[in-house]
Amino acid sequence: MSNVHLLAVAASLSLAMTGCRTGSDTTDEMAAASAPAPAAMAAASVVSPELEDALAEALDDERHAIAFYEAVMARYGRRRPFSNIVNAERRHANALLAQYRRLGLTVPADRWMEATIEVPDSFRAACAASVDAEVRNVAIYDRLLAVARDPDLGDPAVLNVFERLRWASQERHLPAFKRCSG
């Protein structure tokens, strides 16, 4: 087994052990799971263009969620579930950014930082729009997981992060927004 493969397996196991306990989505667990790996691993990694595109799409979607949830709170106040989930989305973006650092990739600009975000006319409608957004997020991760799983294109640590972020959207965020929309 090559050194690169051993390092990738070790990083994946480390992420799995720190990021998959009982399905919680806490700051400490996400921070531990997204901590950068040794520089030697980044230098030894070869990243497929498909994996880099997958990371960029995932990061863009997390950043869009942050911008939308912030815009909703600017209009309707810091109310749950937005006030909780926006922090989770920041942790998700940070977990993806840690993969960029680990792999030695250039982080794409955040196109949502200065964007004008349209907010629905009621809090309940904002919750319903967020249900749709989380459903789309899960579908995005379903598609991106195929790239991360591919032995020629993917990466075990990125796969672990994608799986955890998909789980959080499906099992935590989506039910919270369904409760407030209905």
- For 116-145, the pLDDT digits (tens) are 999 999 999 999 999 999 999 999 999 999
CB distance 102 to 37 below 8 Å: yes
CA dihedral 152, 153, 156, 157 (to 10 degrees): 150
pTM: 0.76
Supply the mean pLDDT for the chain: 81
Q: Is the pLDDT of residue 7 over 60?
A: no
Quote the distance between the C-alpha of residue 71 and its chain's center: 19
Percent of the chain at pLDDT > 70 equals 75
In order of their start, the domains of the chain are 3-181 (1.20.1260.10)
What is d(CA 6, CA 37) in angstroms, rounded to the nearest whole number?
13
